[in-house]
Structure 1
Amino acid sequence: MTLPASLLLLVAAVTAVRLVELTVACRNARWAFDRGGAEYGQRHYPAMVVLHVCLLVGILAEAALADRAFMPLIGWPCLAFLALAQAGRGWCMRALGPQWNTRVIVVPTLPLVTTGPYRWMRHPNYLVVVVEGIALPLVHTAWVTALLFTLANTAWLVVRIRTENRVLWPVAGAVTAAR
């Protein structure tokens, strides 16, 4: 099956956004390291990269191999959720400013961010990733990819969130402990 141009364009657009995010993350990492930041969880970071690449490749492979079609009743709402997820990530990035990163880098002298979506949730960016991991494949009914990514991402998020909580709680002091 030939993949529809709209699907190729969607995956290319998401890939381009990821590359921009990685560029921002690299710039922010330099900023954090220049201020005494320390990185944690380096061993699980490559798994995240592979997982997200597999999401994009899986969507294309499933659409081609299983002849997945765009179904408007599923595709349009999922596209809307995907757009909301992108806006949510932008909100997270804006709230964290130069502290936003795809890696866990903590600058010990900086307070925990409690503005934007972090006012209500500890890890709103991961909610964005969960929504995106379901919505993006389902835009073109790649439900196997959505399921496999969600399962693998859940396992990865358990490790990642434990790592972040372990290193951020001491930084936040009593304010975080009271949450």
Structure 2
Amino acid sequence: MTWYTALVLAVAAERLAELAVARRHTRWSLARGGTEAGREHYPAMVALHTGLLAGCLAEVALTGRPFPPLLGWTMAAVVLAAQALRWWCIRTLGHRWNTRVIVVPGLPLVTGGPYRWLRHPNYVAVAAEGLALPLVHGAWMTATVFTLLNAALMVVRVRCEDGALARMPEAQVRV
């Protein structure tokens, strides 16, 4: 389980790096007149993602489940693919990417990168990682609970984000 702990801690470190990027991007967006939507659901999102990481480690430690090689290595590949997709989203959105929903007036909607094919590719990465990370070491209860709670949260989040984007001026063009 030592290597699995290292994997979960690496994902946690990646989350901290995301938060640092998000803080910088928040300052950038607010300085340009950006407005935030969805503040009320943000703490639940933070708690859910923290719970995912803790649940992965706790379930494996408490149940003593062995590493399932075929499932484990397959899910590890999904975790890595989810990270690649997430950072592709971050790179594509640039200063606009954030863990919060902040819309800067006057900026065109981004439709390049993974946004060319998916409306919310970052949420695909979140869902994939939330299912796969626990399953790397057979933590199916954590995978199930996270997936169900995340699905409910994503309904709220996507509505919030789509609503914020819909309030952008009609004159903006897609890039």
When normalised by structure 2's length, the TM-score is 0.96
Distance 1:175 1:145 in 2: 42
**2:168 partner SS:** helix
Shift of 1:67: 1.0
Q: Any stretches of 5+ residues in structure 1 without a counterpart?
A: none
1:148-163 alignment, distance < 5 Å: 148-163=145-160
Q: Report the equivalent of 1:52.
A: 49
**2:81 corresponds to which letter in structure 1?**
L
Q: Any stretches of 5+ residues in structure 2 without a counterpart?
A: none
1:78 to 66, 75, 85: 75
Distance 2:170 2:83 in 1: 31
Shift of 1:173: 3.2
Which runs of structure 1 show a deviation greater than 3 angstroms over 4 or more consecutive aligned residues? Answer: 172-176
Shift of 1:69: 1.4
Distance 1:81 1:20 in 2: 20
Q: Report the equivalent of 1:89.
A: 86
**1:171 partner SS:** coil
Distance 2:74 2:169 in 1: 38
Contact 2:134 2:142 in 1 (8 A): yes
Deviation per residue, 1:111-168 (Å, 9 max, x gap)? 1111101111110000000000011000000000000000000000000000001110
Aligned residue pair count: 173
Shift of 1:5: 1.0
1:130 to 116, 127, 130: 127
- Percent identical pairs in the alignment equals 58
Distance 1:49 1:69 in 2: 29
Contact 1:112 1:171 in 2 (8 A): no
When normalised by structure 1's length, the TM-score is 0.94
Distance 2:172 2:102 in 1: 20
Distance 1:172 1:132 in 2: 34
Q: What is the Cα-based RMSD across aligned positions, in Å?
A: 1.3
Deviation per residue, 1:60-99 (Å, 9 max, x gap)? 1100111121111100000001100000001100110000
